[in-house]
Amino acid sequence: MEISPLRNFNKETLAGKTAIITGAGGLLGPHHGIALSCAGAKVILADINHEGLESSKNKILQVNSEAQIDTVILDITNLKAVEDFEKSYRKSNKYIDILINNAAVNPKMKELGSKVTGRIEDYDLEEWNKEIAVGITGSFICSRVFGSIMAQEKEGVIINISSDIAIRAPDQRVYSPTMSFEDIQSYKPLGYPIVKTALLGMTRYFAEYWGPRNVRVNALLPGGVFDNQPKELVENVKKRTLLGRWANVDEYEDVIVFLASDSSAYMTGQSIIMDGGRSV
């Protein structure tokens, strides 16, 4: 089914605001950027992948040629690098009002049986450490560095990009051509649900910590985005989703503007589950 976002954004909604998006060089990052820039915010795209950043910038400009965009190579697991960036940015610009903790090590299931993901028995500890470092420590570092200034300014928004996998089991059978436990060919590794669940705890913790300083912290739990995954996987997931389909890559744009703007002014510490009904 062809569904396009309304993109009925009013560029006054976030006028004068600056937003930083971590992991902006991936699949969803440019769409967060499209949403925020069409709603009037200046966007800073941060990633460790230079080509990804350039591609995201171009995708945003194709939709919104007037978008104000900065890009930065930033490893969010490096506290000093994030602090240095924040200080140098603030010296010549306004402080950053909106943080989207979007970066993650997100193993893509391009091929069943490709062994890109780990069974518990031989799950690589280096991989585990990397997933935790980016998804949990990186989100903590960015929340601390950018959130502290928001708290000082008594205004700010943090959006943690979690996943529907934070509230359900992975159901590894979707990685089996026959939808059976006997024939699972590839596993969603343990680090992923751990990171995404941790983000819900982090959301509540920071929401309480900085609530009195008017920094709102919420989480978005997206469902799977169609990205030319293997056919069996696509069909298996469709069968387990109430709406019978995957999300389109641009379908989270409106909710990002909702969470970043005063439309959600009385909402903090909460989660929005937007997964086509899969977790139901």
Which residue number, 156 or 193, has a Cβ lying nearer to ligand NAD?
193
Which residue number, 58 or 178, has a Cβ lying nearer to ligand NAD?
58
Helix intervals (H) in 133-190: 138-153
Which residue number, 40 or 224, has a Cβ lying nearer to ligand NAD?
224
Minimum distance of ligand NAD from residue 32's CB (angstroms): 8
Minimum distance of ligand NAD from residue 276's CB (angstroms): 11
**Among residues 31, 8, 35, 27, which one has the least CA distance to residue 257?**
35
Residues pairing with 218 in the sheet:
159
Which residue number, 26 or 230, has a Cβ lying nearer to ligand NAD?
26
Sequence-distant (≥ 6) Cβ neighbours of residue 128 within 8 angstroms: 189, 190, 191
**Among residues 140, 166, 263, which one has the least CA distance to residue 221?**
166
Which residue number, 118 or 138, has a Cβ lying nearer to ligand NAD?
138
Minimum distance of ligand NAD from residue 3's CB (angstroms): 16
Minimum distance of ligand NAD from residue 237's CB (angstroms): 10
Give the DSSP letter string of 53-115: HHHHHHHHHHH-TT--EEEEE--TT-HHHHHHHHHHHHHHSPPP-EEEE--------SSTT--
Minimum distance of ligand NAD from residue 2's CB (angstroms): 19
Distance of alpha carbon 1 from alpha carbon 106, whole angstroms: 26
Instruction: Return the percent helix, strand and coil in the chain, to nearest 5.
Output: 45, 15, 40
Minimum distance of ligand NAD from residue 152's CB (angstroms): 24
Q: What is the CA radius of gyration of the chain?
A: 18
Residue nearest to ligand NAD (CB): 26
DSSP 3-state of 172? helix
Which residue number, 97 or 164, has a Cβ lying nearer to ligand NAD?
164
Both tokens assigned to 271: 């989660």
Q: Which residues bind ligand NAD (CB under 6 A)?
A: 22-23, 25-29, 47-49, 52, 74-77, 102-106, 134, 138, 161, 163, 222, 224-225
